[in-house]
Amino acid sequence: MRDILLILSICTLAFTCQAQSLSIDELWAQCSDHHALAKEKATAVKVQQEQLAIRRSAYLPVVYGDLDWQRNLIIPTTPVPAIAFDPGAPEDAVIPLKFSTKWNSKAGLKLEWTLFDPKRKSNLSSDRIAEERAVLQEQEYHQDLKSAATLAYAAVVLATRQYKSAIEDSIQYAEIQEIVAQRFQAGRATSDEYILAQQELQRKRIRLHESWTILQENSLDLGEYVDLTDIRVLSSDLSEIRKKLEAYRPHPFQIDLLQLDIRSAELDLRALQKEVLPTLHFNAYFGAQFYSNDFHLFQHNNWYGHSFVNLGVRVPISAYFTQSASRKKAALQQEIYTHRLEHQQYLEKSDEQKKQLRIAQAEAALSSREKIEQLAEQKKTQKWAAYQSGRLLLSDYHLAHSEHLSAQQEVWQAQYDWLAALLATGE
């Protein structure tokens, strides 16, 4: 039996060395930096920010160089009236006129600029809304992540308690088996009692292994939210977690997202109204063109200036007659989002009231479970004293011990349920 006590003591020491060293504040600060999907949300925000930068730059003047060389395999030829070149030529006479050479080239700078685009402001606003949406979705995910990480942290705390309890039970029952073995050898205990003591010790060993497995599984779950490589001790207990959560108020991000939907629908409606406005473009070109039957690009006599400026207006005439249905659709979509927002606001209010009811119920259940556990522990202590004095059968103490263990597990579950109720954000 001394070997068993030594093994259990080593397990306790090993557990202490491997336990996490992390406070609840540190967990909240680090969980978003470690979680891969949180990084994805942060990247999505950066994508929308770059999209907004692209949209802004799209309305700056575009300047680019234009350079090409062309070899005409067949010189383009057009028949023209001969009288245009020879007043004495017959009226029906034509002559072929070549209007190019074997080689021609073009080099210059071109500028394109949209001076006025009725969609510009709407597009920029749409990209800003998309950026706001990405930010809200990132914040919402961080909030959900914080809640999940907190529950995982609490699960490790409770699993730690359960494992320590299993160690204490195993040590105690190893001592009980020693006592029963000595009594059995002295003829003061029956064979049935000795067998029962050995059976209970094996059950405690099973529970010890089960609680260790649960602790390791919960630690792996917590590892999803924070790096546990260099962590040694779990520093926040349940009372600290409870104090932290009492001041915690989850933000209703769904309402914010629906308000963005309404703004987006309003923007779509205004954009449709502006689509009937004209678009104004400015184009300019400064360069030269090369014509020659020989490919000698550096002969200046073969280059001819070619530059222009152009101001164009495009009026969407058909939009005046085709937008009616699109406007009605946009207005109806805005109305849908408004109704959704009203319903979500009701749900938020209702869910908050339900949450408070669940918290009150969880607190009452926890208080009752703790009182039951205290009474069960008191009963177990009395039974243990009676057994040690020889006034109680071992089976009766086993029953009292099992009742206390069951009450203890119910307290742990009630504590977890209370934390989960505090972290709930509604249905």
pLDDT single digits (tens) 264-283: 999 988 888 888 889 999 99
Find how far residue 148's CA is from the centre of its chain. 12
Q: Which of 204-208, 291-295, 323-327 has the lowest mean pLDDT?
A: 323-327
Lowest mean pLDDT among 124-128, 183-187, 216-220: 183-187
Q: Is the pLDDT of residue 134 over 60?
A: yes
Taking residues 358-372, report their average pLDDT: 92
Kindly state the average pLDDT of the residues 29-41: 82
Residue at 164: amino acid letter? K
How large a percentage of the chain has pLDDT more than 70? 94
What's the average model confidence in pLDDT over 109-117?
90
pLDDT surpasses 50 at 39: yes
| Residue 235, CA distances (Å) to 121, 154, 378 in order | 53, 11, 29
Q: What is the mean pLDDT of residues 332-345?
A: 91
Strand-pairing partners, residue 114, are 281
Sign of CA dihedral 132, 137, 140, 145: negative
Please report the pLDDT score of residue 166 as a whole number: 92
3-state helix, strand, coil in the chain (%, to 5): 65, 15, 20
Strands (E), 173-325: 279-292, 303-314
Residue 1's pLDDT band (cuts 50, 70, 90): very low
Give dist(CA 225, CA 246) in Å, integer. Answer: 22
Q: What is the DSSP letter of 234?
A: B
Proportion of the chain above pLDDT 90, given as a percent: 27
Residue 3's pLDDT band (cuts 50, 70, 90): very low
Q: Alpha-carbon distance 50 to 53, whole Å? A: 5
How far apart are alpha carbons 414 and 243 in whole angstroms?
16
Q: For position 208, what pLDDT does the model report?
A: 92
Run of H or E including 107: strand 103-116
| pLDDT on residue 130 | 92
Pairwise pLDDT comparison (189 vs 138), residue with the higher score: 138
Can you list the alpha helix ranges (DSSP code H) found in 186-252? 191-222, 238-246
The stretch 313-339 carries a mean pLDDT of: 85
Give me the half-sphere count of Cα atoms (radius 13 Å) on the Cβ side of residue 155.
19
Q: Which of 11-20, 51-60, 282-291, 307-316 has the lowest mean pLDDT?
A: 11-20
| 9: pLDDT strictly greater than 80 | no
Q: Is the pLDDT of residue 186 over 90?
A: no
**What one-character-per-residue DSSP string does 369-405 give?**
HHHHHHHHHHHHHHHHHHHHTT-S-HHHHHHHHHHHH
Pairwise CA distance, residues 72 & 294, whole Å: 11
Q: In the predicted model, is pLDDT for residue 161 greater than 70?
A: yes
Residue 289 · residue 306 · CB < 8 Å: yes
> pLDDT band for position 321 (50/70/90)?
confident
Residue 362 has pLDDT above 50, yes or no: yes
Confidence grade of residue 133 (pLDDT, cut at 50, 70, 90): very high
User: At 132, is the pLDDT very low, low, confident or very high (cuts 50, 70, 90)?
Assistant: very high
Tokens 């060389």 map to which residue?
A: 69
Once rounded to an integer, what is the mean pLDDT over residues 291-298?
Answer: 83
CB atoms within 10 A of CB 140: 19
Tokens at residue 317, please?
A: 């005439």
Q: Are 22 and 230 in contact (CB under 8 A)?
A: no
Please state the rounded mean pLDDT for residues 349-368: 91
Residue range 188-216: mean pLDDT, rounded: 88
pLDDT of residue 35: 79
Mean of per-residue pLDDT scores for the chain: 85
Taking CA atoms, 401 is separated from 83, 338, 381, 425, in Å, by: 124, 60, 9, 38
Identify the DSSP state of 247: T
